A = this chain, B = another copy of it.
Amino acid sequence: MTSRYLVISSDCHAGLPNAEYRDWLDSEHRETFDTYLAERQRMAELAGRGLLNEEFAEEWHRENEEGLRGGWDAARRDKELDADGVAGEVIFPDADAVTAGASAPFGAGLGQTGELDPVLLMAGARAHNRWLAELCAASPDRRAGVAIVPVLHDVDAAVAEITRARQSGLRGGILIPSMWAPYPPYHDARYDPVWAACADLEMPVHVHSGAADREQYGEHVGIYVAEVRWWSMRPLWFLLWAGTFERYDRLRFVVTECGAFWAADLLWTSDIAYDREHAAKKLGSQLTANLAMRPSAYFDRNCGIGASNTRRRELERRYEIGVGNIMWGNDFPHPEGTWPHTREWLRDAFWDIPEDETAQMLGGSAAAMYGFDVAALASVAERIGPTPDELGQRTPEAVAACDRWADPLAAGRPWLA
């Protein structure tokens, strides 16, 4: 039986306060950076238009002033993770998701697109990656840093940065732009050296929500909310159907902070198309020409979901999604996440989930994906990890409720039956 869960957050963020990145940039970009920062400030002042809840923003920063410093301060960060019961973390850029005050330089972070200046993008990425490697070095067992790698414009430079980042200690993998325009889509062979390098170096490739088709939305934030996840899921099926996971069987690909709810239907529709069930009968041999297995088999072997604040609705579908594919995360220090109330969120979501499955989704899946040294983290987990009792999992009510999972467990992925 589990004593304390080893919890790994597959979705954390770190970034310096914007101006502090200056010293991490190669010197030839520092003046451009000063101009960029000033312009950015001016745009932020012009923005407004009801896009941000100013009252919420003010309260969030006031109530969490100390904790938010964990976005860049290593000691403070460990303290916050400890309090949340999180032993290990996978670290993406952009610590401030409210007022964008701690973002990788030149737009190189979560919202990176192919429209940005390639030279500045790479400079911003490298500045962040250098700093992140230092942050991770302060607690190497606990932190898997994800390097920002602009892969679109110059594949050779991308491979060089992947290699450099890995050597610098960033073992969380790489973050690529969710959207490729105006460059060729990710099924294109031009990106093969990236996939090959990541497979060889055991660097999982990530997309993370943020980018979207913004110029189509006008002022309508709701449209952004409705489709932002989709734009970061999209590379998954581009790679999958192009046979990328067949060609690079050791490549790992993770979709982070897009939720997990959509994955079951994606696997269902993909598998029945692969099997040429009814509606797909008319499609020719090209459909499956690059695949030796069903899409769900590649998903299980090559992919993962950084599911962040995993919801009941998603846990109910976990046998279809694959328990081993779901990696919970607290999204520290973003307000969308569970920090600083992770223990309560976990109790609400996981109270009747079997302990072995809880252990898998809260840490086991991420440990395997990112190569965390579970033995090295055990002492941290034994100190701070939540217990099954704390999650309410050993009450008579919870034990009785577990019965409800027998049928879905037996059904598995029913379309494969």
Contact = CB atoms under 8 A, between A and B. Distances in A.
Give the dominant DSSP class at A's interface: helix
Interface in A187-235: 187-188, 216-223, 225-227, 230, 234
A120 interface: no
A261 B272 CA distance: 14
Interface stretch (A85-93, A140-148, A281-289): A281-289
A222 B234 contact: no
Contacts of A185: 216-218
Contacts of A220: 187, 238, 241-242, 286, 290
A281 B237 CA distance: 31
Contacts of A234: 227
- In this complex, the interface size class of chain A, counting residues with CB under 8 Å from chain B, is 35 or more
Contacts of A269: 225-226, 259
A313 B241 contact: no
Interface stretch (A20-28, A50-58, A357-365): A50-58
Contacts of A285: 50, 53
Nearest to A281: B56
A309 interface: yes
A52 B283 contact: yes
Contact of A335 (B223, B282, B309): B282
Given A262-B265, A283-B221, A286-B51, A226 B60 contact: no
Contacts of A53: 281-285
B225 A286 contact: no
A286 B227 contact: no
A53 B56 CA distance: 56
Contact of A241 (B222, B238, B279): B222
Contacts of A227: 234, 237
Interface of A: 49-54, 56-57, 60, 97-98, 185, 187-188, 216-223, 225-227, 230, 234, 237-238, 240-242, 259, 261-262, 265-266, 268-270, 273-274, 278-291, 295, 309, 313, 335-336
Which 3 pairs of residues, A with B, have the shortest CB-CB distance? A222-B241, A50-B286, A226-B237
Given A50-B285, A220-B238, 12 more contacts: A49-B284, A51-B283, A187-B217, A218-B242, A222-B270, A223-B237, A223-B238, A223-B241, A226-B269, A227-B234, A259-B269, A279-B309
13 contacts: A50-B285, A52-B284, A53-B285, A56-B281, A188-B218, A218-B242, A221-B284, A222-B287, A222-B291, A225-B241, A225-B287, A226-B269, A282-B335
